[in-house]
Amino acid sequence: MPLTTAEREEVAHHGLPVPEVVVLAETDQDTGLSSAQWRRRFADVGPNELPARRGRSWVVRLLLQLHHPLIYVLLVSATVTAALGEVVDASVVFGVVVVNAVIGFVQEARAERALDALVAMVRTEVTVVRDGVTARVPSSELVPGDVVLLDAGDQIGADLRLVVARELRVDESALTGESVPVAKNPVVLPPDTALADRTNMAYSGTLVTSGGGRGVVVATAAETEIGRVHRLVGSTAGVQTPLTRKLARFSQVLTFVIIGLAAFSVVVGVLRGEPLPEMVTAAVALAVGAIPEGLPAAVTVTLAIGVARMARRNAIIRRLPAVETLGSTTVICTDKTGTLTANAMTVNVVLAGGVRHDVSGIGYRPEGEFAPGVTPAVRSCLLAAWACNDAGIVEDENGWAPVGDPTEAALVVAARKAGLDASEVPARVDALPFSSERMFMATKHVNDVVYVKGAAERVLELAGLGHSEEADRLAAAGLRVLAVGRAPGAELSEDGLRGNVELLGLVAMHDPARPEAVEAVRACQAAGIEVKMITGDHPATARAIAAEFGIEDVRARVAPEEKLRLVEQFQADGQVVAMTGDGVNDAPALRRADIGVAMGRGGTEVAKQAADMVLTDDNFSSIRAAVEEGRAVFDNLRKFIIWTLPTNMAEGLVILTAILLGAALPILPVQILWINMTTAVALGLTLAFEPREPGVMSRPPLAPSLPLLTRSLVGRIVFVSAILLACSFGVFRWQLSSGASLEVARTVAVNVFVGAQIAYLVNCRSLDRIRPRTGPNRWLLVGVALTIGLQLLLTYLPFMNELFHTAPLGWQPWLVVFMMSVMAYVVVELDKWRRRRWRG
Ligand SMILES: Nc1ncnc2c1ncn2[C@@H]1O[C@H](COP(=O)(O)OP(=O)(O)OP(=O)(O)O)[C@@H](O)[C@H]1O
């Protein structure tokens, strides 16, 4: 039996020699666990996942909703009101508090759940050996005793005792805070070695920055070191963003201003001889009405909806602030291969023995003809290309597909088209792997020959040759050109190869542009975003492909480290930069970019960890989708804010004005509380669900320094507040003068106020268009219907009449309500129209 949890925690694995670790873990360091062993252990220990991060119970989180200065004020005044005998008013205030807390709680919980779900979507994969076979599996399936292979770019999925390490370096900053990668080796250490010095261990949540190795899993899930520290690496950090913080501060300041005004109105009222209890109730209503309590929660909800919409379009947001930044992105730096192109390589041309051979056939099906036919020169060129290769091809129900690097798979296809057979490839003894920095790959074989393939100029250089015009010509046609060579008896190192390589030929392959990416690049350009191609490929190839996309700025043969410099340079010019990347060395640039974009399929774990956003389909069009949704999120935030602020302001102003003028209140405090309680959620929040306007991609990016509320929007807020105020006072006075009772006049005023709020909600569906060009917003329709239903209850239910001092109305007042609402709507639309004319 493997060790129990408690026993495993007792063992200091770094203090044991490898054979003992292997015995303890009941595994085999070469073949790993058997499937049967794995199944038993998995059933035993469960998935390798950290427990959910929230430690607080829902009761605590619900109570935390009450932890706001405003709520304290409300509770105190409700108590005072109750003590003064106004039980009904006091219970309405308590009702407001409870309803607000519940709504805030539900909204936050939903937003957090949506964000947590995203963490699961970016699953970490690891390479394990089981039954002697290597496989990629989700890290959640690791169990103690599993043998894990490590490679540069991997995230370590569980705590491992290393058994083999080759130049292995691990970034342990997630665990120790130390940002310099630590060199690792399997040597036994004293048992009392501190965590940060355990160089023979590799811990869950840390990242392989270079080299490789093999380790035995000794702890999973909560038993890992990171599990003990109880920190969930890779989760989106909370639901706070610069914007939500700014808004939270804004509403705090507003709260104090309003409380001051409320206190002032009590003093004025009392000095004027009004009874104190009435003034207190009025002041409370003023505060409740005027303070936009729902603002921070609504912002979080809007962001969360944006995140969910982006996820549906293959862009997974890892850090919430990215949602905001996406709306103001001005430059997108994108890779070529796989992001703009399909990464579906087909060898078109083989240049060997001084002859150009065109190769027919598309895709990875190994059938096609050489024209002119296959010569010995072509055979030896493609044999070398097949030898110096880690890829393969397989046929399944969807046809032929590459296994491994598509560039290499294309070479295998070409070799098979030339009639070569796998048995002709001599066995390999050692390899110098391909990397974007080295730009070539070399392998040594049993026949003591080193085969080389790589970027044309690199292999030519190793062959001691100069520039190749043929290579340039092929590249200028948009083909990816590789040179192939061999070096009999040479040493497997860059120095050993230099001058000893015999050039065997050039191989050129086609990688078709993704049609949807062509369209997406155009859409971004139309949206005022500059798209730049940053690629490791040859300048001529890059230029030819960029031309297909209408991309003008091309940086070719860019090494990953140079990407960081490019990002910084663009940022120094005041740009908001999105940068794609997939390798370990791309991480600094991804971290530095305003929006780091990692590839979900082709990318390394390191790149994903560094990124703000991960594309599940590696496709440029998903960046465009994210930008589009980012802009829509911004729109909806502004729509919500410009709806909520004037309605809140007007609710407060109605009471303040009446007190200051010493006039009869057109809307009573309880009624204000009612309006506030029902409309903020039923109406305002529905704007978070507004579909995006079709025009979002036909306007320039928002400057990041631009305040959320432009001057014209502030103008609108003041303007609408005045309309709402005037409507309620006007109608109230007019009703009284035409002989209505106070109750009836107030009921009409309340209904006019709510009617105008509904009308203004429709106005707010578009910030500056007369008619929104979006599809219907189902939630808005539901909200409006709900509000109308509630108003009817308020007006006609005897119980409500009693509670809220309302009275049933005949049909004429409803006509007034309707007319006034339509009028309010038209006036705001006229204002939009005037501003548009004025601007443009
Ligand atoms: N597996 C490989 N073996 C040998 N050489 C390769 C291999 N893959 C690519 N190359 C060569 O190295 C060059 C650089 O490749 P790299 O992967 O850095 O960038 P890329 O894939 O061409 O472009 P992008 O940065 O847009 O993804 C290629 O142009 C090609 O000539």
Beta bridge partners of 669: none
* Number of structural domains the chain divides into: 4
554 and 633 part of one domain:
no
608 and 540 part of one domain:
yes
- How far, in Å, is the centroid of ligand 1 from the Cα of 370? 25
CATH number of the domain enclosing 600: 3.40.50.1000
19 and 157 part of one domain:
yes
Question: Position of tokens 């399997």?
Answer: 186
799 and 761 part of one domain:
yes
pLDDT of residue 222: 79
Other CB atoms closer than 10 Å to residue 588's CB: what's the count? 18
Does ligand 1 have an atom closer than 6 angstroms to the CB of 455? Answer: yes
**pLDDT per residue as tens digits for the range 126-166:** 899 999 988 889 888 999 999 999 988 888 989 999 999 98
pLDDT of residue 150: 92
Residue 117 — very low, low, confident or very high, per pLDDT cuts 50/70/90? low
323 and 360 part of one domain:
no
pLDDT of residue 840: 56
Is residue 55 predicted with pLDDT exceeding 60?
A: no
Q: Please report whether residue 102 resides in a domain.
A: no
Given 479, 510, 541, the domain boundary residue is 510
For residue 390, give the ligand 1 atom closest to its CA: 1
Residue 176 — very low, low, confident or very high, per pLDDT cuts 50/70/90? confident
By residue count, the chain amounts to: 840
Q: Please report whether residue 497 resides in a domain.
A: yes
Residue range(s) defining the domain that contains residue 203: 5-53+123-229
Q: Answer yes or no: are the C-beta atoms of 656 and 286 closer than 8 Å.
A: yes
46 and 149 part of one domain:
yes
Amino acid at 303: L
What stretches of 735-775 adopt beta strand conformation (E)? none
Q: Please report whether residue 702 resides in a domain.
A: no
Q: What is the mean pLDDT of the chain?
A: 86
How far the first Cα of the chain sits from its last, in Å, is 78
Is residue 417 predicted with pLDDT exceeding 80?
A: yes
Share of the chain above pLDDT 90, in %: 45
Question: Position of tokens 């001529």?
Answer: 540
- Supply the DSSP string of 423-474, one letter for each residue: GGSPPEEEEE---TTT-EEEEEETTSEEEEEEEHHHHHHHTT----HHHHHH
Its ipTM equals 0.96
pLDDT of residue 236: 34
For residue 435, give the ligand 1 atom closest to its CA: 18
Is residue 500 predicted with pLDDT exceeding 50?
A: yes
Does ligand 1 have an atom closer than 6 angstroms to the CB of 440? Answer: yes
Rounded to two decimals, the pTM is: 0.78
267 and 320 part of one domain:
no
Query: Lowest-pLDDT range, 406-410, 424-428, 434-438?
Result: 434-438
**pLDDT per residue as tens digits for the range 663-712:** 888 998 889 888 887 888 788 888 888 888 888 888 888 776 667 677 88
Largest CA distance in the chain: 111
Q: Please report whether residue 91 resides in a domain.
A: no
Residue 56 — very low, low, confident or very high, per pLDDT cuts 50/70/90? low
Residue 303 — very low, low, confident or very high, per pLDDT cuts 50/70/90? confident
Q: Please report whether residue 225 resides in a domain.
A: yes
Question: Position of tokens 């599990």?
Answer: 227
612 and 660 part of one domain:
no
506 and 552 part of one domain:
no
Residue 124 — very low, low, confident or very high, per pLDDT cuts 50/70/90? confident
476 and 592 part of one domain:
no
Q: Ligand 1, from 537, 585, 620: best to mutate by most atoms within 8 Å of Cβ?
A: 537
Q: What are the residue numbers of the active site?
A: 335
| d(C-alpha 268, C-alpha 262), whole Å | 10
Does ligand 1 have an atom closer than 6 angstroms to the CB of 89? Answer: no
- How far, in Å, is the centroid of ligand 1 from the Cα of 502? 21
Given 510, 536, 556, the domain boundary residue is 510
Query: Lowest-pLDDT range, 41-55, 385-399, 423-437?
Result: 41-55
pLDDT of residue 83: 84
Beta bridge partners of 578: 332, 595
- How far, in Å, is the centroid of ligand 1 from the Cα of 342? 14
**pLDDT per residue as tens digits for the range 538-567:** 999 999 999 999 999 999 999 878 899 999
pLDDT of residue 238: 45
Helix (H) or strand (E) holding 503: strand 502-510
* Nearest protein CA to atom 7 of ligand 1, as residue: 454
- How far, in Å, is the centroid of ligand 1 from the Cα of 536? 6
Average pLDDT of the segment spanning 602-622:
87
| d(C-alpha 721, C-alpha 648), whole Å | 8
Does ligand 1 have an atom closer than 6 angstroms to the CB of 457? Answer: no
714 and 737 part of one domain:
yes
pLDDT of residue 609: 82
| d(C-alpha 288, C-alpha 669), whole Å | 9
Q: Please report whether residue 58 resides in a domain.
A: no
744 and 824 part of one domain:
yes
What are the distances in angstroms from CA 536 to CA 102, 130, 416, 525, 753?
54, 36, 28, 23, 62
Average pLDDT of the segment spanning 238-253:
69
